[in-house]
Amino acid sequence: MFSRVDHIGVAVEDLDAALALYERDFDMSLAHRETVDEQGVEAVLLDVGENHVELLAPLEPDSPVGRFLARRGPGMHHVAYQVTDIDATLDALRAGGLRLIDEQPRTGIRDSRVAFLHPASSGGVLTEIVQPAKGH
Ligand code: CO
Q: What is the pLDDT of residues 4-61, one digit of tens each?
A: 999 999 999 999 999 999 999 999 999 999 999 888 999 999 999 999 999 999 999 9
Backbone φ and ψ of 27, nearest 5°: 60, 35
pLDDT above 90 as % of the chain:
93
Question: What are the structural domain ranges in the chain?
Answer: 4-131
Sheet holding 106-107, edge to edge: 29-36, 41-48, 51-58, 4-11, 75-82, 127-131, 113-117, 106-107
Distance 98 CA to ligand 1 centre (A): 19
Distance 126 CA to ligand 1 centre (A): 10
Distance 120 CA to ligand 1 centre (A): 18
- Residue 61 amino acid letter: P
pLDDT at res. 76: 97
Distance 124 CA to ligand 1 centre (A): 16
* Tally of CB atoms within 10 A around 8: 16
pLDDT at res. 113: 96
- CA distances (Å), origin 28, targets 47, 57, 97: 6, 18, 38
Distance 24 CA to ligand 1 centre (A): 22
Distance 41 CA to ligand 1 centre (A): 11
Mean pLDDT of 98-120: 95
Asked if 52 and 7 count as a contact pair (C-beta separation under 8 A), the reply is: yes
The span from the CA of 97 to the CA of 91, in Å, is 10
What pTM value is reported for the model?
A: 0.94
pLDDT at res. 134: 86
Rounded to the nearest angstrom, the gap between the alpha carbon of residue 12 and the centroid of all alpha carbons in its chain is: 13
Distance 16 CA to ligand 1 centre (A): 18
One of 3.40.640.10, 3.40.50.1010, 3.40.50.2000, 3.10.180.10 is the CATH number of 4-131, namely 3.10.180.10
